[in-house]
């Protein structure tokens, strides 16, 4: 692969990494909020012992779990791009 092509791919990967890292910061913040909310609703459900409170807790927990899953997928994508970036850097060095 030509050096220019490798450099262009490195720039592309770098741009994607910046974007994903910015997204990860937002997702982390949202996850913290949703987890806190689910925890609070869990306590309310325990205290009130009503079906409505339990339903609200389960819904809040589902949202927090979905955000956790999304965060993990963003982290995986970042790790894959970092590995690709390392491969491209190795190609330039040789």
Q: What is the pTM of this model?
A: 0.87
Can you give the pLDDT at residue 1? 72
In Å, what is the CA distance from 68 to each residue of 7, 47, 85?
34, 26, 26
Can you give the pLDDT at residue 31? 98
CB 78 within 8 A of CB 17: yes
What does the longest C-alpha to C-alpha distance in the chain come to? 67
Measured over the CA atoms of residue 30, residue 32, residue 33 and residue 38, the dihedral's sign is positive
How far is the C-alpha of 40 from the C-alpha of 91, rounded, in Å? 51
Domain extent listing, the chain: 3-88
Can you give the pLDDT at residue 69? 98
Positions of the chain with pLDDT under 70: none
């Amino acid at each position: 692969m030509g050096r220019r092509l490798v450099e262009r791919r490195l720039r592309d990967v770098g741009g994607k990494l910046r974007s994903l890292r910015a997204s990860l910061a937002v997702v982390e913040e949202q996850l913290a909020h949703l987890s806190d909310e689910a925890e609070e609703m869990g306590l309310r459900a325990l205290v009130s012992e009503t079906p409505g409170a339990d339903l609200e807790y389960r819904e809040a927990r589902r949202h927090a779990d979905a955000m956790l899953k999304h965060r993990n997928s963003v982290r995986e994508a970042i790790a894959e791009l970092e590995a690709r970036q390392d491969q491209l850097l190795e190609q330039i060095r040789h």
